[in-house]
Structures are given as structure tokens and as C-alpha cells.
Structure 1
């Protein structure tokens, strides 16, 4: 009996040693496999984009949040992702063009980072396929963050905190460019904006004012003057609950665009002046507007679409021949109608999103 009991103890001890050895060998632990629950409304749909080799985990998201606000990723040690994407401005920066290292301006206006979980083509011209590819570009840009990636990896490896965070997120303390972009992408996928008054309206929790309701109707309708239906055709590009479509349009800013837009990527003349349709969520917070930040406020945006569309060979079809009056040459909305549409667009502001502590700078809480 004593021999059997001793044998059982040895067997249990052996199993425990093997288990510990396997965990140490694989570099995995309970933290590494802790999934992050992405929560969003059903009306957003499930056509989300998450690579198989970069599942979203709580540890990966936290590491990505740390890196998103980390100035050590720039050569000047003053620029982070958050410099151009500030939470209080729905992750834009309020500038016509963002300031990179040494105050070098970027080529285009900073885009909002809301609801990226559903986006597949990033930047105004769609040149990055997926968030991981997107995250790498500013990190390696000499004018944005100083192309400092290789040295940044060395800097981060010397810290006390980052090797531990990389171990928790990826299984080993090794810091690589691939892991940095994966972690930042995981964090950015959590930036979901879905609690505006418009969302509350869709959930039956908010009654729009008369002005908001009229603006919503104009926003969603296309003009049919023969049937006395007035509309602004906004929903042609922004008609989904997420307020954008995965499309590229020339929206009539210039007859001869100074910035060729998507044509630079595709080489196709029909893509001249075409840019990605951006989300209108939190649009009241993300001025100035357009790829070059030319419009200071929503009133200027409405004036453009109403009265100042410039014709060109690549002008989007949805912006052609859409008057509210029979024989009209422009959209022809009244001042009151434009104001109503702006009232509706202000319904898209999500105060929960811009104040969510899970999206804030974690370095501040450590000081």
C-alpha cells in the first residue's frame, strides 16, 4: 500500500512538472488566451475583419492601447498615434493637416478611428489592406513618426513594462514590428461608436426633434421633383447604420484635382480625385472636413454639396443630375433644409465613445 501511494504521488508530481514545462515551452498562459469580447449592435452587421493570425485578446488590446499612446515609437519621442487621433475629437486632431516630427505636415487630413472593425481599405486612397498594414505605414513614415521602428523596438525592449506586456499578449517577451502593429490593430478594433442619439433612436430609446426628424428624412431620401419628394441623397454614400460605405468617390471638390487621390494607387484616370467615403459618426467633432481639410464647418460642407459641385470626367454618378426642382442645375436645398440635415448629423455624436476610459491614455493613470 505504501509503495502504491508513493507511486501515485510521483505520478501526480510528474504530470504537474510536464504541464509546467509545456506552458513554459509554448510561452502561453491563462492571460494569453483571454479573449476580448467585441460588443456592437446587430444592425452593424457581422462582416467584421479580424485576421486569423491576430485574434483580439484582452492582453493584446491593453498592449495596443499602451502603444497607441507611446511617444517612444517616434524619433523625436514626442509623437504617438494619439497625437493625430485624439479621443475627445473622435480620434481626429482638429487640424487641416496633422503635424509629424519637426512639425512636418502630413499630406492629408487625419481620419476618425471609429468602427474600424468593419473597414477593409484604409487611408483616403485605400492603399492599406487591413488594420495591420495601416498601422505600419505611419510608424515607418519619415515625416510622420520618423521611420524609427527598428530603434523603437530596442527602446521598448529596455523598459521594465513592455517585455512583460508582450509576453502576456503574445507568449514571449520578444518585441517585433509585427507584434507592435498587431497589438495596435487589436486596440483600434475596439474603438466602436454605437451609443449616439441616432443609435438610441434605432433602439427605440430616443424621439428626434422635428428638425432632426426632417433632416433625417432629407438625408435618407433622393430628390424626385416629379413626385414632390425632396432629398439630399446623402444615403447614397452614408446610408448604412455605420454611416459609410466601402466606396471611393470623386465628390466634386475640383474640376482638376490637385490631389489625384486613388488614381495614384490604381493608375486609372477614372479614379482621379476619388477618396474613401468616411463615416459620418461623430461628424460634428471631426472638423475640418474633406481629405484636405478645406471646409471648416458642416455649413460649408452642406453648401458644397448643395451649390458648388465641380464637374469632371470622374465625378461620381450619385452627385450628377439630382435637383430638387424640375430643371434645376444644383441640389437646391433651402437654408432651413440644410440646417435640418445638420441637426440630424449632430445626432451622430456619441459622448460615450469620446469619454470611454477604456480608450483613454493608460500612461496618465500610471503617473
Structure 2
């Protein structure tokens, strides 16, 4: 006769032992995965020399391979939101060049953000973040969407506590920071490390600059128009874009009123500075992957590149704070707007389409690692 069938205490002890051994196995498996599957050491940030070396990396948050790995996990981690459904990747989707295709984005409470989600690309060189530039550095920027009640809506202390209760995150934080303590500061630092790796530098325009691509006639003309200021008295036609979007990164850290409204509903950086001259001034966004980041402007009012070009060509609204770069710039003598020809608009857009970097939006190093993990479990 099997004595265990008649000994409830013995059965409970056996079950407890099995559960204990299973727990140990899970923990060891997690550590083996971390020890064997994650590279460690300094992260080599690769970018073209013409991008320049004025990069922004805080001394207290050096970029490491293990830090980038953790940051990527956290970028796509829905536990960082109050309802466990939203991550950074919800509003910044890789196939849309890390935007979300919406004018405004819904948060955990379904309330829409007041401004359009900006593309996350080539942030390594940026110093000011958000449309009004209110954040100094990626670490400061990351706090707002994580904690805003209308975005991810969760205190960093709560996020840290949630991650502490998981199997893998304590070991990951130990790999990055030397101990398994999870804090809000460490969360934002890791996310920032990952975001600094989001470098786009392999568009057809980049290939052209390094002599590996021959643009079409329309693309070449578009490049010329983009980089030329009009001088009608000399017969020189241009689209006057490079004042704000010049250089190989198509980005300069400037803030401008670009003539969207004569009386802006959104005051822009005037809210921060209190200066009337700053009314309606916003950060100039990069044009990298611009064909993928519709809708456009801080309020997502334009759905197509054609609408954007038409705005600058014919529909600039005059105001006291209108950018000086846009005042009196015209292809017609005495004109108040560019007045581009129909063919010139098409040529300009042909160039803008050259800025799409297909390798950037398909790079597996930037993708959601949780989806890969789920896929592997199914097989």
C-alpha cells in the first residue's frame, strides 16, 4: 500500500519541494539567459563623419551594450503605464520612423496629447526636447511621458516596484548598474541609452552624399531647390528650406514661428519665456524619414507633404513673431511667400522622399524584443 496516499503532510512536503525546485530552475534560467545572451561593454555608436561629433551623452549615463539592451526592453514595456497597455513604443512605432500616424496620441485615460508625437531619430545630437524645448536632455524628457496622467500615467516609484516583482528585470538592472535595485532614475537612464542608438544615416540621400547613389533629375533639382534661397532679381529660384533644415542631418536646433497662424492657438515657447516674440515658435523637427511621419506640424494639421509644401509656397500667415527666415522670401519680386511652380513642388517632394531610410525602420536592434520573445515561446 502506498503510504503517501494516506499521509496529507507528506504530500504537502513533496509538493512544496517540487515548487521550490521549479522556482530555483526559473531563477537560474533567467540568470543563464542574461549571462549567455546579452553582450556587455561600451556601445559603439556608429554614424557618418559629416554628422559631426557634437553628441550629447551625460557623464553619469555612458552608453553600454547592456544598458541599451535594458533600455530597449523598457522602451517597449507596458508595465510602465498605469493600465499596463501603453509603452513608449505605442506613440513611437518603428515602421513610422518612431511616430504613431496620429495628430494627437491617446494616453491611459484616453485623453489626447496636446501636441503631435515627434519622431525619435538622431537624438544623439539633440539638446532640447519637446516642441517647446522644455526638457534639457533625453533623461529629463523621458520623465514626462512616463508620469503624465494623460500619457503613461504612472509614478516612477510605482513603475520601479512593478519591475522589481518580475523574474528578469532585477537581474538585468544588476547587469547594467552593478546591483539589482530598480529606481525611476535608472529606468529613464536606460531608456535614454537605447534612444541614443536610434541613428538614421542610410537613406538614398546619405548614399548620394557618399557617392553610392545617383539621384534622378527631379531629385537633383529638389536638392538644389531645398538648399537655395530665392533671388528673383537675379533669376535664382529656390525653396529656402536649408535655413532651418540644412546640413546632412536636415536638422538644426532652432525654434521658429513658421506662419501657421496669424494668431496662434498654441503659444509655443512663449509659454516658457513669456516673450511675445516667441509666440507660436516651435522646435524645428528633423526631416529624416519625413515621408513616413505624417501628419505634420505640432498639431498634425497637414496630412501630406503636398500640403506642407503648399503652406510654405502660398499660405504663410503673417504675424509679429513670424520667423525672419520666412519674411519676404519669394520667387517673385515683392512677393510675401515662395510661389513655387507646380513642377518645383514635385521636385522638392522627390528630394524629401530620398530621406526615407528603410534600414532604420526595419533594423531588428530597434524592434520590440517582447514580441520576439513571445514568438520564440510559441515555437
TM over 0.5: yes
Aligned to 1:129: 136
**What is the TM-score when the length of structure 1 is the normalising length?**
0.91
Aligned to 2:199: 192
Residues 60-71 of structure 1 mapped to structure 2, 5 A cutoff: 60-71=67-78
CA gap of 1:32–1:201, structure 2 versus 1, over 3 A, is closer
Aligned to 1:346: 353
Cα separation, 1, equivalents of 2:232 and 2:304: 29
Cα separation, 1, equivalents of 2:243 and 2:156: 40
Matched-pair contact (CA < 8 Å) for 1:249–1:315: yes
CA-CA distance at 1:328 after TM superposition: 2.3
Instruction: Confirm whether residue 228 of structure 1 aligns to residue 235 of structure 2.
Output: yes
Match of 1:332 among 324, 333, 339: 339
Aligned to 1:82: 89
Secondary structure of the equivalent of 2:109?
helix
**What is the TM-score when the length of structure 2 is the normalising length?**
0.88
Instruction: Confirm whether residue 149 of structure 1 aligns to residue 156 of structure 2.
Output: yes
Residues 1-367 of structure 1 mapped to structure 2, 5 A cutoff: 34-367=41-374
Cα separation, 2, equivalents of 1:139 and 1:69: 12
Cα separation, 1, equivalents of 2:238 and 2:121: 27
Cα separation, 1, equivalents of 2:220 and 2:51: 21
Cα separation, 1, equivalents of 2:353 and 2:294: 13
Cα separation, 2, equivalents of 1:335 and 1:329: 18
Matched-pair contact (CA < 8 Å) for 1:32–1:168: no
Cα separation, 2, equivalents of 1:139 and 1:329: 43
Cα separation, 1, equivalents of 2:269 and 2:335: 31
CA-CA distance at 1:243 after TM superposition: 0.5
Cα separation, 1, equivalents of 2:150 and 2:329: 41
Cα separation, 2, equivalents of 1:135 and 1:327: 46
Matched-pair contact (CA < 8 Å) for 2:328–2:334: no
CA-CA distance at 1:322 after TM superposition: 0.8
CA-CA distance at 1:146 after TM superposition: 1.1
Aligned to 1:5: none
CA-CA distance at 1:325 after TM superposition: 1.6
Count of residues in correspondence between the two structures: 337
Cα separation, 2, equivalents of 1:356 and 1:276: 27
CA gap of 1:32–1:357, structure 2 versus 1, over 3 A, is closer
Cα separation, 1, equivalents of 2:259 and 2:154: 35
Cα separation, 1, equivalents of 2:289 and 2:314: 24
Matched-pair contact (CA < 8 Å) for 2:129–2:135: yes
State the superposition RMSD in angstroms: 1.0
Q: Deviations over 1:279-309 (max 9, x none)?
A: 0000000000000000000000001000010
Matched-pair contact (CA < 8 Å) for 2:87–2:152: yes
Matched-pair contact (CA < 8 Å) for 2:82–2:154: yes
Cα separation, 1, equivalents of 2:340 and 2:248: 24
CA-CA distance at 1:149 after TM superposition: 2.1
Q: Deviations over 1:8-51 (max 9, x none)?
A: xxxxxxxxxxxxxxxxxxxxxxx896100000000000000000
CA-CA distance at 1:108 after TM superposition: 0.2
Q: Deviations over 1:47-69 (max 9, x none)?
A: 00000000000000000000000
